[in-house]
Amino acid sequence: MEEQKKGFFGRLVEGLTKTRNNIVSGIDSIFSGFSAIDDDFYEEIEETLIMGDLGIQTTTSIIEHLRQTVKEQHIKEPAECKQILIDSIKKQMDLGENAYEFENRKSVVLVIGVNGVGKTTSVGKLAGQLKDSGRKVLLGAADTFRAGAIEQLTEWANRAGVDIIAQQEGSDPAAVVYDAVSAAKSRNADVLICDTAGRLHNKKNLMEELKKINRIIDKEYPEAYRENLVVLDGTTGQNALSQARQFMEVADVTGIILTKLDGTAKGGIAVAIQSELGIPVKYIGIGEKIDDLQKFDAGAFVNALFDIKEN
Ligand SMILES: Nc1nc2c(ncn2[C@@H]2O[C@H](COP(=O)(O)OP(=O)(O)OP(=O)(O)O)[C@@H](O)[C@H]2O)c(=O)[nH]1
Ligand SMILES: [Mg+2]
């Protein structure tokens, strides 16, 4: 009950405590510690943003924007830069709406990512949310490689109250997806969410497997709305960016699920992902429980980072 009352924003603020302490206390001390806007001031902000894992490219463009605005508006007080900085970060993340179209269509959501990032957990959480909003959800257990993966997804299916299509461990993942697609059609499911392996015998295998799965869905269910979500572990910082790039080579990635933001001071990576890859972060994971998946609202995220109250 307490949990519910706190609402989306409260829980987001709570989940981002570590990142906020890292970035914002840093930024605030810069604003109070400097009496003039000079090169040192910009350098300190730059350093804080990079420490918060916004990435060099994103940070550079934020600082450039800040310098320009300061010049144009003849700003003299460091404190006045805070709002400009916040607006500029929000702008970096603004990639438009339309992100959740798949929720209202007959769709197939393919969830991919390296091992341990939180794919299966995110599939379970997403299934629970869609089910609660009245959608008929089906899960496909296409991680047939890791021991226990099918059982783990089955538990999530039970928790979320949705059906699952699975074969036994070691079977062909593409065949599982084929079955799952047939079942989605014959049972008239709204959303089919497929979990996949994070690791096969080698990386090339994994990427080839994903391509094959993609082809099967395209061929067997061309009318389905496609959503390919890459799951990235927020605690891995800049590494997450290179992982995403690898998956972008084999799939038409339509969004990111950024997990474990509850356990990291590196939540700034959400900004870097969106601005550097041009792919929207659609969901964030802020815990291990079924309700710990949030739709990602860039504006609310930046406000939560800077602890600005929303009403
Ligand atoms: N704190 C926290 N833990 C998470 C989050 N998402 C997932 N986890 C945990 O991360 C661990 C790995 O999650 P999985 O869902 O099994 O990850 P996976 O990508 O499916 O892993 P493989 O199937 O082995 O590739 C589990 O212990 C999860 O409970 C999150 O948002 N926050
Ligand atoms: Mg898994």
With respect to residue 116, please indicate whether it lies within any of the assigned structural domains.
Answer: yes
Which residues is 285 bridged to in the sheet? 293
Cα(45) to centroid of ligand 1, in Å?
33
Which residues is 58 bridged to in the sheet? none
Query: Given this model, what pLDDT does residue 245 score?
Result: 95
With respect to residue 134, please indicate whether it lies within any of the assigned structural domains.
Answer: yes
Same domain, 68 and 194: no
**CATH number reported for the structural domain that contains residue 82 in this entry:** 1.20.120.140
**CATH number reported for the structural domain that contains residue 189 in this entry:** 3.40.50.300
With respect to residue 311, please indicate whether it lies within any of the assigned structural domains.
Answer: no
Same domain, 224 and 247: yes
Q: Is 45 exposed, middle or buried (0-12, 13-18, 19+ CB in 10 A)?
A: buried
Per residue in 187-212, pLDDT tens?
A: 999 999 999 999 887 888 999 999 99
CB 221 within 8 A of CB 135: no
Cα(116) to centroid of ligand 1, in Å?
6
Ligand 1 atom showing the smallest separation from residue 199 Cα: 25
Q: Is 173 exposed, middle or buried (0-12, 13-18, 19+ CB in 10 A)?
A: buried
Compute the mean pLDDT over every residue in the chain, rounded to the nearest whole number. Answer: 88
Ligand 1 contact, 198 CB (< 6 A): yes
Same domain, 14 and 144: no
In the listed set 92, 116, 136, which residue is the last one of a domain according to the structure?
92
Same domain, 129 and 21: no
In the listed set 35, 65, 92, which residue is the last one of a domain according to the structure?
92
Whether residue 269 has pLDDT greater than 80 = yes
Cα(111) to centroid of ligand 1, in Å?
13
**Phi/psi at 109 (nearest 5 deg)?**
-110, 120
Same domain, 173 and 32: no
CA distance 233 to 261: 8
Query: Given this model, what pLDDT does residue 82 score?
Result: 87
Same domain, 20 and 126: no
Same domain, 151 and 251: yes
Q: What 3-state class would DSSP assign to 109?
A: strand
| DSSP state at residue 164 | E
Per residue in 19-41, pLDDT tens?
A: 666 666 677 778 888 889 999 99
Q: What percent of the chain has pLDDT over 90?
A: 60
Ligand 1 contact, 286 CB (< 6 A): yes
Name the pTM for this structure.
Answer: 0.86
Same domain, 68 and 158: no
Per residue in 48-66, pLDDT tens?
A: 888 777 888 889 989 999 9
With respect to residue 30, please indicate whether it lies within any of the assigned structural domains.
Answer: yes
Whether residue 68 has pLDDT greater than 60 = yes
Per residue in 74-129, pLDDT tens?
A: 999 998 998 898 888 888 776 666 689 999 999 999 999 999 999 999 999 999 99
The protein residue whose alpha carbon is closest to atom 29 in ligand 1 is: 288
With respect to residue 136, please indicate whether it lies within any of the assigned structural domains.
Answer: yes
Please report which ligand is nearest the Cα atom of 261: 1
Residues 6+ apart with CB under 8 A from 301: 12, 16, 93, 270, 284
Q: Which of 16, 121, 260 has the most ligand 1 atoms within 8 A of CB, as the residue to mutate?
A: 121
In the listed set 60, 92, 124, which residue is the last one of a domain according to the structure?
92
CB 4 within 8 A of CB 247: no
With respect to residue 87, please indicate whether it lies within any of the assigned structural domains.
Answer: yes
Cα(248) to centroid of ligand 1, in Å?
21
Residue 111 tokens read as: 């969830």
What is the band of 130 on the pLDDT scale with cuts at 50, 70, 90?
very high
Same domain, 223 and 168: yes
Ligand 1 contact, 120 CB (< 6 A): yes
With respect to residue 310, please indicate whether it lies within any of the assigned structural domains.
Answer: no
Strand positions, DSSP E, the chain: 107-112, 137-142, 163-165, 191-196, 225-233, 255-259, 281-285, 293-295
With respect to residue 113, please indicate whether it lies within any of the assigned structural domains.
Answer: yes
Query: What is the total count of domains within the chain?
Result: 2
Pairing of strands 255-259, 225-233: parallel
The protein residue whose alpha carbon is closest to atom 25 in ligand 1 is: 115
CA distance 177 to 167: 10
Q: What is the domain range of residue 191?
A: 101-305
Ligand 1 atom showing the smallest separation from residue 293 Cα: 31
Same domain, 163 and 287: yes
Q: Sign of the C-alpha dihedral, residues 267, 270, 271, 276?
A: positive
**Tokens 């943003």, residue?**
49
Whether residue 298 has pLDDT greater than 60 = yes
Same domain, 113 and 198: yes
Same domain, 87 and 225: no
